[in-house]
């Protein structure tokens, strides 16, 4: 199997804690260059992951290293031009969520990827959490999912993302939106939502019922003004129900007529390392495998359009609008 040469843009917290530890463990990946405008972060990260070529200009890095793929781990307001340029040079591209500040940006990135024949992926890692994948497979052995729920809560009522350039739902709660799409197993057919401001001048609670063409009913429940970080999921099919907390210390509990089964995140992942148990390792492995095997990644830009469209539908279809 050939080595995939990957160039890296960004030396921040997520890059260092989950993305680069994953990539550096792959025997079929070469990390050929790193770019960051903060030189102290650039050199510290490059030293840690033994990356020789270092840059403060990403275009120079791409020109000099000629990578197969680029990881662009940047705040959403800086993402678009870097993605478009990388795609124009026919580099495959991985980005973190959100996939742009607007639906328009996501669509333009997807069009550019198609035009230049590039593989793309958005880091919606919840789909790649081993516990989530294992439980979903067990549930679907009984039949298609008929009801699902995606819950995401925090205790940051006045959360302001990137100085207000992007809203809570599009920037962060989008993880719960994308997971719900994945669980629902079909296209979105109808949406009804309730959006509120709790103890804040900004909207910080987004709740919705989503009807999927698969026949499943999906429920989104998010609130940034409650007790703390709670990120849980439910999957229900004929004769089986699963309640999943994939965070460290959590577990999945499956209920059937035969009794109750529990699975921990570490058991499902075969590791208690956070980047493996929480899906970051798996999503990068999926991206590299898709390049190796000439397959379309599950969370490519074209698919991310649908998640962004569901975000838009949640905003449009409020039940309390006069």
Last residue of a domain, one of 79, 101, 125: 125
In a domain, 266, yes or no: yes
Encoding tokens for residue 221? 């429940």
User: Going by DSSP bridges, is the β-strand pair 259-263/252-256 parallel, antiparallel, or unpaired?
Assistant: antiparallel
Q: What is the pLDDT along the chain (322 residues), one digit of tens a residue?
A: 799 999 999 999 999 999 999 999 999 999 999 999 999 999 999 999 999 999 999 999 999 999 999 999 999 999 999 999 999 999 999 999 999 999 999 999 999 999 999 999 999 999 999 999 999 999 999 999 999 999 999 999 999 999 999 999 999 999 999 999 999 999 999 999 999 999 999 999 999 999 999 999 999 999 999 999 999 999 999 999 999 999 999 999 999 998 999 999 999 999 999 999 999 999 999 999 999 999 999 999 999 999 999 999 999 999 987 6
- DSSP code, position 99: S
CB 230 within 8 A of CB 151: yes
User: Rounded to 10 degrees, what is the CA torsion of 48, 50, 55, 61?
Assistant: -140
CB 101 within 8 A of CB 255: no
Last residue of a domain, one of 95, 125, 155: 125
In a domain, 286, yes or no: no
User: Rounded to 10 degrees, what is the CA torsion of 315, 174, 81, 65?
Assistant: -170
CATH assignment at residue 142: 3.30.360.10
Do both 163 and 310 map to the same domain? Answer: yes
Do both 35 and 147 map to the same domain? Answer: no
Q: What is the pLDDT of residue 178?
A: 98
CB 60 within 8 A of CB 316: no
Q: What is the pLDDT of residue 165?
A: 97
Encoding tokens for residue 129? 């959490």
Number of domains in the chain: 2
Q: What is the pLDDT of residue 322?
A: 63
Output helix, strand, coil percentages for the chain, rounded to the nearest 5: 40, 30, 30
CATH assignment at residue 116: 3.40.50.720
CB 231 within 8 A of CB 244: no
Q: What is the pLDDT of residue 231?
A: 98
Q: Collapsing DSSP states into helix, strand and coil, what is residue 68?
A: coil
Q: What is the pLDDT of residue 51?
A: 98
Which domain, by its residues, includes 200?
127-279+301-316
* Nearest-10 crossing angle of helices 58-65, 76-88: 30
B/e letters for 225-244, b = 16+ CB within 10 Å, e = fewer, are beeeebbbbbbbbeebebbb
In a domain, 295, yes or no: no
CA dist., res. 40 & res. 115, Å (int): 37
Question: Burial level of 49, CB count in 10 A (0-12/13-18/19+)?
Answer: middle
Last residue of a domain, one of 125, 143, 168: 125
Q: Collapsing DSSP states into helix, strand and coil, what is residue 6?
A: strand
Do both 121 and 152 map to the same domain? Answer: no
Do both 139 and 275 map to the same domain? Answer: yes
Q: Where are the beta strands (DSSP E) in 238-276?
A: 240-244, 252-256, 259-263
C-alpha angle 4/9/14, rounded to 5°? 100
């Amino acid at each position: 199997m050939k080595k995939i040469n990957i160039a890296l843009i960004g030396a921040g917290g997520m890059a260092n804690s989950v993305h680069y530890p994953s990539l550096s463990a792959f025997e079929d990946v070469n990390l050929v260059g790193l770019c960051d405008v903060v030189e102290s972060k650039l050199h510290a990260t490059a030293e840690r992951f033994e990356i020789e070529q270092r840059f403060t200009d990403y275009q120079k890095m791409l020109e000099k290293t000629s990578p197969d793929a680029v990881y662009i781990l940047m705040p959403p307001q800086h993402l678009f031009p870097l993605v478009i340029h990388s795609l124009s040079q026919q580099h495959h591209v991985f980005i973190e969520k959100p996939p742009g500040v607007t639906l328009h940006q996501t669509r333009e990135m997807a069009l550019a990827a198609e035009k230049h024949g590039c593989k793309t992926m958005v880091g919606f890692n919840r789909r790649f959490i081993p516990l989530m994948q294992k439980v979903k497979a067990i549930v679907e052995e009984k039949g298609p999912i008929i009801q699902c729920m995606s819950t995401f809560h925090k205790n940051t009522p006045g959360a302001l993302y990137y100085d207000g350039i992007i809203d809570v739902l599009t920037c962060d709660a989008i993880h719960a939106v994308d997971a719900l799409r994945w669980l629902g197993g079909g296209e979105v057919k109808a949406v009804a939502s309730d959006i509120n401001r709790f103890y804040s001048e900004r909207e910080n609670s987004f709740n919705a019922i989503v009807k999927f063409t698969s026949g499943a009913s999906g429920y989104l429940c998010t609130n940034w003004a409650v007790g703390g970080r709670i990120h849980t999921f439910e999957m229900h099919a004929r004769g089986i129900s699963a309640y999943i907390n994939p965070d460290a210390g959590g577990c999945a509990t499956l209920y059937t007529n035969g009794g109750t089964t529990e699975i921990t995140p570490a058991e499902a992942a075969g590791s208690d390392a956070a980047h493996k148990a929480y899906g970051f390792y798996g999503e990068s492995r999926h991206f590299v495998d898709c390049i190796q095997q000439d397959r379309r990644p599950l969370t490519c830009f074209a698919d991310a359009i649908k998640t962004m469209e569901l975000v838009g539908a949640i905003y449009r279809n409020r039940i309390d609008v006069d």
